[in-house]
C-alpha cells in the first residue's frame, strides 16, 4: 500500500469519526433540549440526558430482578412495588396488572379482605359520607375526604413541593396539614382546607417569650379549619423537630423566626404541658381563642398514656376532650431524626391503632373523638385496614412525596434531594414543576379514596366508612389467617378506661 492510499484511508476514517461525533453531539443537544424543556419528569429536568438512564435501568430491572439484586418487595421503608403503584396512580395510568400478583399472601402479616358472595352493584353504591370534626367548637370542620395529607412543614419540604400539595389538595378536596413550621403563602396558594400544626417550638403562633400568643392564633385561625397540637412524632418520640442548617434559608428563617443557616432543634415537649390536665388546659385555650376544633398528635409506647388521658377527660367532662387524635406509628417518616429513635422508639401503627381505638371505646369517648391514623398508609389496602380497625381518617406524608416525584433517595436531611421535593437548591427545585405535580397529587388522592371504596364494595359494603374488623383477615402462618376482630376483639363499650 503506497503512501497516497494510506493517507486517503486515514482521511476517510477521520471524516467518518468526525461525522459520528457531529451526529452524536446533535443527538445529545436534541435530548438535552427536550429534557430541560419538558415538565413531566423531574429527574430528566434536573439531570438532562443522563437522567434518562434511570428509566432504562427501571425497565431492565424488571427482567434482572429475578436473578440479581433485591426482589420486588424487599426494599425498606417502601418496596419497589409500593412506590411503583403510587407513581402509576399519580400519573393516572391505572392500577390494572396482568398475569398475577407479587404480593405474598402466605407471609405473616399479609392483609386479606373478605369478599362478599354478592358484592354491591354499581347503582347501589353511595359516596362515603363527610364527618364533622369538633361538633362542640364554635366553627366545626366538616371533612369530606377519608384520605388526606399529613403534616410536612415548609423547610422540611421545598416551596414548590408545598405549593403543589396545596393546589393538588384543593383539586382533590382533601385537607393539607401545615406541619410544625408555620403557615406560609405557599400553603394558602391552592385554597385547600388546612390543619395548622402547633409543634413544641410553636412557630408562627408564639410570643416573644416562646409561649402561645392568642392574637397570632386568631390570625392563623382565619385561614385554617382546625389546629393540631403536636406532642410527638412517630419517627422520633421524645425528640422535637429537627431542621438541619443547610435547609434554613432566609425565607424559612423568616417564617420560623430563627437564624439563617443554623440547625433548628425544637424542645422535646411543650414546657407548659406536664400532665394530662395541663394538656387539656392548653387544648381549651386554643379552642377558646380560635373557635376552631383542636386535636393532638401522639405516639403510643404502651396503653398507659391513652388510658390516663381518657380518665382525665371523664373526670373533667367530655367537653374538655380533644376533637381528634392523630396517632402516628413508630414506623412513620421524618425529614431528620436520630437513627436510634427512628429504629427503636414507639409502637408501630399495627399495634398502637387498635390500642387507641379500644381505649376510646372502653371510656365511651369514641364518638366524641375522631381518630386519624398515620404511619406508612400509602396504599389502598393499608388505608382500608386502618378504617377496619376503627380510624375515621388516614393521612400520609411520604405517599404524597412519591406523587411529587420522590425516588426514596434517603437524602431528606442533607438538602440534596435529587427531585427537589426536600431541597432548597434552585437548581434541584427547577425539576419540580408545580402545575404538573399538583395534578399528580390530586390523581393519587383520588385513586386512594376511590380504591378504598372499591374494596368496600367487593366486601359487600356501600362505602368505605362501613369497614369493620370482620372484613379483614391477617395471615398468621402459611395457610392460616384470622379475622381482625379475633386478633383485636372489640372491647365492652362504655366501661371505665383500663377495664
Residues 411 and 307 in one domain: yes
Residues 195 and 54 in one domain: no
Give the total number of structural domains in the chain: 2
Q: What's the confidence (pLDDT) of residue 499?
A: 32
Q: Is residue 377 part of a domain?
A: yes
Q: What's the confidence (pLDDT) of residue 59?
A: 64
Q: What's the confidence (pLDDT) of residue 67?
A: 41
Domain end call among 427, 450, 473: 450
Return the DSSP state at 483: E
Residues 157 and 32 in one domain: no
Q: What's the confidence (pLDDT) of residue 65?
A: 53
Residue range(s) defining the domain that contains residue 37: 27-65
Q: How far apart are CA 145 and CA 449, in angstroms?
A: 7
Q: What's the confidence (pLDDT) of residue 70?
A: 62
Q: Is residue 465 part of a domain?
A: no
In tens digits, the chain (499 residues) has pLDDT values of 566 677 778 888 888 888 888 888 888 888 788 777 787 777 778 878 777 777 676 666 655 554 455 665 677 898 889 999 999 999 999 888 888 898 999 999 999 999 999 999 989 999 999 999 999 999 999 999 999 999 999 999 999 999 999 999 999 999 999 999 999 999 999 999 999 999 999 999 999 888 999 999 999 999 999 999 999 887 778 777 788 888 999 999 899 989 998 888 888 899 999 999 999 999 999 999 999 999 999 999 999 999 999 999 999 999 999 999 999 998 877 777 788 887 888 899 999 999 999 999 999 999 999 999 999 999 999 999 999 999 999 999 999 999 999 999 888 888 889 899 999 989 988 889 999 999 999 999 999 999 999 999 999 999 999 999 999 999 999 989 999 999 999 987 654 343 3
Residues 52 and 191 in one domain: no
Residues 61 and 164 in one domain: no
Q: Is 367 helix (H, G, I), strand (E, B) or coil?
A: coil
Residues 202 and 323 in one domain: yes
Q: Is residue 105 part of a domain?
A: no
Residues 310 and 432 in one domain: yes
Choose among 132, 148, 151: nearest CA to 140: 132
Choose among 175, 125, 121, 127: nearest CA to 151: 175
Q: How far apart are CA 373 and CA 147, in angstroms?
A: 10
Question: How many H helices and E strands in the chain?
Answer: 17, 15
Q: Is residue 151 part of a domain?
A: yes
Residues linked to residue 177 through DSSP beta bridges, in sequence order: 195
Q: The domain spanning residue 174 has which CATH number?
A: 3.20.20.70
Choose among 34, 37, 38, 43: nearest CA to 406: 43
Q: Is residue 110 part of a domain?
A: no
Residues 36 and 143 in one domain: no
Residues 53 and 141 in one domain: no
Return the DSSP state at 466: G
- pTM for the model stands at 0.87
Residues 148 and 58 in one domain: no
Q: Is residue 434 part of a domain?
A: yes
Q: What's the confidence (pLDDT) of residue 64?
A: 55
Q: Is residue 259 part of a domain?
A: yes
What is the β-pairing status of strands 193-198 and 175-177?
A: parallel
Domain end call among 450, 470, 487: 450
Q: Is 381 helix (H, G, I), strand (E, B) or coil?
A: helix
- Retrieve residue 127's grid coordinates: 359516596
Residues 54 and 138 in one domain: no
Q: Is residue 95 part of a domain?
A: no
In 131-272, where does DSSP find H-type helix? 159-172, 185-188, 214-221, 250-256
Residues 314 and 239 in one domain: yes
Amino acid at each position: 500500500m503506497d503512501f497516497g492510499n494510506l493517507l486517503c484511508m486515514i482521511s476517510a476514517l477521520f471524516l467518518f469519526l468526525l461525522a459520528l461525533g457531529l451526529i452524536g453531539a446533535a443527538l445529545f443537544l436534541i435530548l438535552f433540549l427536550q429534557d430541560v424543556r419538558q415538565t413531566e419528569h423531574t429527574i430528566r429536568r434536573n439531570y438532562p440526558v443522563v437522567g434518562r438512564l434511570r428509566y432504562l435501568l427501571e425497565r431492565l430491572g424488571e427482567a434482572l430482578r429475578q436473578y440479581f439484586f433485591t426482589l420486588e418487595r424487599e426494599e425498606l421503608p417502601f418496596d419497589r412495588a409500593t412506590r411503583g403503584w403510587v407513581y402509576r396512580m399519580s400519573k393516572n395510568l391505572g392500577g390494572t396488572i396482568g398475569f398475577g400478583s407479587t404480593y405474598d399472601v402466605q407471609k405473616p402479616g399479609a392483609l386479606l379482605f373478605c369478599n362478599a358472595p354478592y358484592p354491591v352493584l354499581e347503582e347501589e353504591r353511595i359516596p362515603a359520607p363527610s364527618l364533622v370534626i369538633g361538633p362542640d367548637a364554635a366553627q366545626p370542620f366538616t371533612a369530606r375526604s377519608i384520605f388526606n395529607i399529613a403534616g410536612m412543614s415548609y423547610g422540611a419540604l421545598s416551596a414548590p413541593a408545598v405549593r403543589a400539595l396545596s393546589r393538588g389538595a384543593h383539586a382533590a378536596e382533601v385537607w393539607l396539614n401545615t406541619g410544625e413550621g408555620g403557615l406560609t403563602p405557599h400553603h394558602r396558594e391552592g385554597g385547600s382546607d388546612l390543619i395548622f400544626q402547633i409543634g413544641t417550638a410553636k412557630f408562627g403562633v408564639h410570643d416573644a417569650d416562646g409561649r402561645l400568643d392568642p392574637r397570632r392564633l386568631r390570625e392563623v385561625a382565619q385561614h385554617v379549619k382546625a389546629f393540631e397540637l403536636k406532642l410527638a412524632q412517630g419517627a422520633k418520640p421524645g425528640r422535637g423537630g429537627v431542621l438541619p442548617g443547610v435547609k434554613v434559608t432566609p425565607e424559612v428563617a423568616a417564617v420560623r423566626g430563627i437564624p439563617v443557616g443554623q440547625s433548628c432543634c425544637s424542645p422535646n415537649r411543650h414546657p407548659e404541658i406536664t400532665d394530662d390536665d395541663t394538656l387539656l388546659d392548653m387544648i381549651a385555650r386554643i379552642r377558646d381563642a380560635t373557635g376552631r376544633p383542636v386535636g393532638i398528635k401522639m405516639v403510643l409506647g404502651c396503653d398507659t398514656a391513652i388510658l390516663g388521658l381518657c380518665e382525665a377527660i371523664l373526670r373533667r367532662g367530655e367537653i374538655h376532650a380533644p376533637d381528634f387524635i392523630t396517632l402516628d406509628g413508630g414506623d412513620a417518616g421524618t425529614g431528620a431524626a436520630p437513627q436510634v429513635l427512628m429504629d427503636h422508639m414507639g409502637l408501630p401503627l399495627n399495634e398502637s391503632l387498635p390500642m387507641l381505638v379500644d381505649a376510646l371505646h372502653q371510656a365511651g369517648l369514641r364518638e366524641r373523638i375522631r381518630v386519624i391514623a398515620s404511619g406508612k398508609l400509602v396504599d389502598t389496602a393499608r388505608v382500608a385496614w386502618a378504617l377496619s380497625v376503627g380510624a375515621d381518617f388516614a393521612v400520609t406524608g411520604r405517599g404524597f412525596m412519591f406523587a411529587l416525584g420522590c425516588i426514596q433517595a434517603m437524602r431528606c436531611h442533607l438538602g440534596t434531594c435529587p427531585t427537589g421535593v426536600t431541597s432548597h437548591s434552585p437548581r434541584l427545585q427547577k425539576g419540580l414543576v408545580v402545575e404538573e405535580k399538583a395534578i399528580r397529587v390530586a390523581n393519587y388522592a383520588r385513586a386512594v379514596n376511590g380504591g378504598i371504596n372499591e374494596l368496600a364494595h367487593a366486601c359487600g359494603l356501600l362505602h368505605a366508612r362501613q369497614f369493620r374488623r370482620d372484613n379483614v383477615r391477617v395471615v398468621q402462618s402459611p395457610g392460616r389467617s384470622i379475622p381482625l376482630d379475633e386478633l383485636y376483639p372489640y372491647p365492652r363499650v362504655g366501661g371505665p378506661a383500663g377495664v
